[in-house]
Structure 1
Amino acid sequence: MRSAARAFVPLALAALTMLAAAPAAASVGSVPADVREYVTQGGLAASLDDVYGTAADGSGIPFDETTTPGPISRIFTWTDARLAGELEGDPTRMLNEWAVPVSLGEEPVGVAIVWINPEGDAPELAEFTADAAAAAALAAVPDDARLVHDRAAEAWFAVVAEVATPLVTGRSGVTAPTEVARLALVAPEAVPEAAAADPNAGLGFAIATVVVLLAIIVVALALLPRVRAARHPTEAPASLHGAGEVSPPSEFAPPEV
């Protein structure tokens, strides 16, 4: 039993060390183990370098071994009911997204958003915004706050007890802690009806295209004989006189006896 207890001590210390090294969740809301591993074990840094790293022309961000992810925060957004003006009920809902402020060494550079792709059921980099101020702000989200991403206003709020504190003002115009009920929220732009997916739209277009092509072919076949006739008219007879007509005598013909 003593040997088992002694063996357990190093394992416990190693586990505590790993937990201390990993960024803690900065807001309320769960952070799955695979998301935490992706962020802290180099997966996020590699994705940032692949997609947003320095390009051949020198553009991009020089992500390297100093790339450091900050606290991982579950992202919330405003409910459809709240955007519609209804003040009853919870004003926020949880998303399949996590915000991670990113730094190069001690310098904040931007905010990465990680999601779990439903197709592969694995965490991936969804997007990255190069914004040092936003990275610094999201690195200090209160532990008891819901981190709300207002995409329509390009703003971030820390919501605690129905009070929204702006972390990134964006276009919201909110510069001080404000009751959620008093926020002038704007719904993200809806997809136009014409752009909505219609499963029969492609089939209808294909049928219409075939009909037009068939009509063109029929018209072309009908006009082809006339075109040929216009290009090759019937040749005139070699003699200008009709059949059965007698040609006048030539002045060089010998006289009749």
Structure 2
Amino acid sequence: METTLTEENYEDVGERQVTVGSIDGITLPQFTADNWDTIQNFQAREDDVVIVTYPKSEGDMERSVRVPCFIKVPFIEMVGLNPMPSAVELADNRSLPIIYLAENAKDCLVSYYFFHKMIRVSPDPGTWDDFFSSFLSGDILWGSWFDHVIGWWKAVDKHRILYVFYEDLMEDPKREVIKVMKFLGKDLCDDVVERIVDHTTFKAMRENPMTISPYWKNHFSVAQNMIFDEEYKKRLEGSDLTFRTELSQRI
């Protein structure tokens, strides 16, 4: 049965317990702000791979994961870290492989709004209209989507970063798995690649209409879509970074 995101499905349960801080003008959870020095001094192991996303840029990926993501892949901002002797930001480690997963802003906005509605330790998002405006201005937890995706896009040429688009992953998971494996220096036969695709969440995600359709259309008004497109064009002007809000083929 298809699941539909609605205000009624994601009403807040109980009182919110929220404390936030700020680093360089960006609103962060208080525990993250308190540990920022440790996070910046993160010491990667030789076999580490870092996965970076703007919040909720994996769409509804977590719905199909049997084991919570934070168990399989620890969040740097939520776990104890081994500090480095000097302050070296994560992206300054040029040999560290970083995979950046990006999703189009419209679907990300919808996912992030309902995430805020559901999670009591996040700030109250207000109404859909309120959050829509806050998202465009970047006045939300973890800051501006525009600054995040553009900042990491600019870093691709200077660091060991693979920029992966969620829409590409949904459209052709095998192609994207091969791309990731090559980036990590892994040469796998087709059988192994097929098993990776089959044993990950991709199949379940592709069978879920919410992950393959432009779900933002169920929430954006005509006026909001026009406002968003205008802001998007302005913010990404001068950049060759482009996103798709629809897949080019039915999956």
TM-score clears 0.5: no
Greater per-residue strand proportion: 1
Greater per-residue helix proportion: 2
> Which bracket does the TM-score occupy, shorter chain normalised?
under 0.3
